Chain A
């Protein structure tokens, strides 16, 4: 039997030096729940925060859009194969569970951004369709966002 142990450092409630207000808002909203999600999936808090920044966005406009929907990953409503807005979840926990159900096995155990993206873009048999078929720069964009998330985690006092 194995046990997963994670040390969760709480998001700060104040605004640290050099921490933009919208980034503080993003981390206040997501740092703790996505740390727990990362523990569930054996991945890292920074990778899950990157996923939220990449797909849901972390600008004021993006947060104004997705935070009331409890939708950190910007998951779409898809009707008849067409995107018809973003899903509204009852809780942030429901959004996390939904994402884990769809993509969790693909990123299980990924520690580096390269492994995380590889798991998403090139699913193993039985893990569903390729994550992205239209944006050839998805992987390099993800890795760049990962670096920026790390920079702001440091500035905003998130993580270890």
Chain B
């Protein structure tokens, strides 16, 4: 998995606030979030890392699949992921995000035509009113997950829910 070519970009550093999807988070010092310049939506960002095979993404979306809670969202997302990717060692667990119940989803996978094994770690939460799904996700080589822990911990600690306008 590599950082996609997203053409014209928006960039973010430090505190990131999203008034449409109701959350804020602090991008760890020294890192930059980027997003495509979509004229209609701004849902989150991918953190640009030196190694483009590692990606961290933070985004929200409408809960259009009507997941009742975070664990159901994690299970539903795993089903969708497995439609296009063969995964191993999959696990769903519990955590919290911004003081609300959240779920963790992790698994390992191989990209087609590649020997390297990758790990995917994801935190999923549902907004208190059930309207939005929030995701913090990390993908990278399976033997390099210290960086993911540091970045995800920083994002998770700083997470706040806002009132969506």
Contacts and interface: CB of A to CB of B under 8 A. Distances in A.
Interface of A: 53-59, 61-62, 65, 73-78, 81-86, 99, 102-103, 128-137, 140-141, 144-145, 148
Contacts of B81: 137, 140
B113 interface: no
Given A61-B129, A61-B131, A86 B65 contact: no
Contacts, number: 130
A62 B131 contact: yes
14 contacts: A59-B131, A61-B129, A62-B62, A81-B37, A85-B165, A102-B39, A130-B38, A131-B36, A131-B41, A133-B4, A133-B6, A134-B35, A134-B43, A141-B64
Nearest to A22: B66
Contacts of A81: 10-12, 37, 42
A135 B165 contact: no
A93 B1 CA distance: 40
A129 B38 CA distance: 6
B56 to A, nearest CB: 11
B61 interface: yes
Contacts of B43: 83, 132, 134-135
